[in-house]
Structure 1
Amino acid sequence: MTGKWLRRAVLLAACASAAVLTACGSSTIESALAPSRFIAFGDGLSDLGQSGSRYTVNDGTVNVWTQQVATSYGLNLSTVSAGGKSYARGHARLISTTDDVGGSTLSVKQQVDAFLAADKFGGNDVVFINGGLGDLLAQYAASTDATALSNVMSQAGTDLGTQVRRLVTAGAKYVVVSGLYDVSKSPWGVASGQASNISSAVLKFNSALLLSINDLGANVLYIDAAYYYNLVIASPSGYSLTDSTNIACTSVDSGKGIGIGTSQVNASLCTTSTLASGVDYTKYTFADKVYFTPAAQTLYGTYAYGRMKSRW
């Protein structure tokens, strides 16, 4: 099955189900959503600093996409550890509690479990959910076999879809699902020598996710991170950036860091004092070899906000 055929199959299936996904046309919903609060589940791409720092340049700004969306609506979003409703945390996998560096981190499923055990959804709550990066990095570390990687990521996409369905069943009326960006385009992916296999695995993940939620169009909006970030990475100047190839930070982690090996730059350790010489990080796409700068994160948040306003 070719990637092109699979993309077409997924798009046709999704567009047949009440226009839940991007590229399926505009919504016919007339009322404007006025969110009462935001709730988030996910991994390091959405982590607002559950353990004290974020997987980006920690510059004290609005620098993660979920927070950018909340701010655009005039609301706040903060971590559960700070009394908020963002459960997302770095290294989280979809189901496994063994994270992408061999430690123990609440999975996305467990994050959802924790919320449902303590709270319930209101009529104007907006829920963000993402995942998959931890599963990709963990499987890649275990084996670079293309078939194994694709199979694991296909199952992970289905697993994320299962969590989305749980949210809707529990009463969430507005669920924003972020797909996984094409990690093969990251500095790590490009240098891996396995870019084609990584790209195929990401496609498998997003395709399985889309197929698993294609009947939830009344409540679910899919944000295509692979589509959007591919545009940014391919043409940074079109987004007021200058560099999508190099990384902005120098914060080397002697440990397992971000899940791509020891002694690698780790964005969660990065501040404005640990930037590469002469770098204007506000013009860079990547903070480290996997995670984005505040500029790239807020661009994606603005894109997601626009998709939400068009839909709801």
Structure 2
Amino acid sequence: MNRFIRKIPLSFGQLLSTLFLSLIALMALFPSVLVGPMDTIVTATGYPLAPPSTEHWFGTDEVGRDVWNLIVHSARITMLVGLLASLLSTVLGTTVGVISGYARGSVDNLLMRTADFFLVMPAFILAMVLAPMAIDFGGSKGAILGIRPTLLVTIVVIGITSWAGTARIVRSQTLSLRSRPFVDRARVIGASHTRIVLRHILPNLVSLIVANTILTIVAAIWIETALSFIGLGDPFQPSWGTMLFSAQQAGAAGAGAWWYVVTPGLAIVFVIVSLYSLSHSVTDLFGSRRKRVG
């Protein structure tokens, strides 16, 4: 195990990215432990749009709440949306891609024409159109596993509008694997289609699926941020995108309160860059393992 860990190809930048994402994970899991309860209008202790100081390292927002406190608590929603939406997108895309690539023929044509529609229509445009209708339909009362309906429908909308790219990639690799000798041997000895897919094709798609899932998280975070920035986020479960929306509404940029805009913006950028780096690490890791096996 130690020999395997030492051989994992991590550059200095990728190591920093992994450490940063670990910090974000801690922020998302234990925000109250790190910075206490989330600041509200009632509990705010600073002056409105106060610059960074020893008391408030990243300044305050328009009602005097500590920006760092909001950043830490908002990390949970941003990452939760990214993870759940990408999971839904990956499951849909992988399922469609494997079925399409393995079945071929009319099934392949039908599924790929459907995927083409979602590829031609940008995911954000579809999400922007569907999100208001879905939010109105879902309502805003109650919660499912701690997730309010308005946030849940945002996750679903992002997931069902961003699976097509995954489906295309998985289909292409499935077509290649389908013609490999080990699949032909399994077919000759009487293995069922389900067994061939689950035991011989999917295991060889793991590295591709994992790396693509990380990139899908990136896309989901972008879409969630954009939807929140135009006012389609849930103000009762704030994310970094809703922080940018609030900063815009408060006129922070015009008032010179750069910290209110830059802090959530940099948090998003650093997470995106770190996820891209992690995706390359996963690709390098599985690639090196295949070479050693070969």
Q: TM-score range by the shorter chain?
A: under 0.3
What TM-score do the two structures reach when normalised by structure 2? 0.28
Report which of the two has the higher share of strand: 1
- Which has the higher Rg, Structure 1 or Structure 2? 2
What TM-score do the two structures reach when normalised by structure 1? 0.27
Report which of the two has the higher share of helix: 2
